[in-house]
């Protein structure tokens, strides 16, 4: 069986792919780090990629059981001229819409169940709306949605 983290990350990829507001030319995939995507977008002149990354796991075990808090980042990387304000505004609007979509329970991001894995979202935030330095240096728009999911592993 796939790891809990990979299973959760793949489930989020599927949910983002099913998002009705996802631009048609945007690829969604699981990656290990954002640098891979940044290089791919810049090298291939792809319009944009949304990558889902498992960035951290924190032990939340207590007397009653074993559990993890799994941090998942949803990162949009888009080729964008640093001078093209309209382009960056458009991608910013896209990420804001995705953020709104992800925080509504109707979209299924609050509680995710895949097989025997059950994960409950504890928090969601958008810490990086647009990384201006990356945009100026690499002509790439980068925006991040950060979320933490609680996964109960076993009872003690």
Does the pLDDT value for residue 35 go beyond 60?
yes
pLDDT for 1: 40
Domains of the chain, start order: 4-155 (3.30.2000.30)
Q: How confident is the model at residue 110 (pLDDT cuts 50, 70, 90)?
A: very high
Q: For the chain, what percent of residues have pLDDT higher than 90?
A: 40
Q: How confident is the model at residue 92 (pLDDT cuts 50, 70, 90)?
A: confident
Name the nearest CA neighbour of 99 among 155, 42, 144, 154: 144
d(CA 88, CA 21): 17
Q: How confident is the model at residue 64 (pLDDT cuts 50, 70, 90)?
A: confident
């Amino acid at each position: 069986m796939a790891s809990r983290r990979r299973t959760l990350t793949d489930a989020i990829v599927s949910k983002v792919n099913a998002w009705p507001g996802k631009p048609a030319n945007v690829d969604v995939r699981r990656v290990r780090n954002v640098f891979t995507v940044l290089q791919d977008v810049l090298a291939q002149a792809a319009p944009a990629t949304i990558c889902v990354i498992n960035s951290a796991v924190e032990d939340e075990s207590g007397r009653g059981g074993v559990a993890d808090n799994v941090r998942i980042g949803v990162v949009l990387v888009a080729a964008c001229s640093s001078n093209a304000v309209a382009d960056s505004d458009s991608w910013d609007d896209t990420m804001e819409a995705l953020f709104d979509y992800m925080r509504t329970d109707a979209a299924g991001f609050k509680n995710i169940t895949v097989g025997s894995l059950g994960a409950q979202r504890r928090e969601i935030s958008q810490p990086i709306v647009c990384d201006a330095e990356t945009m100026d240096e690499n002509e790439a728009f980068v925006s991040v949605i950060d979320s933490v999911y609680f996964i109960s592993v076993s009872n003690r």
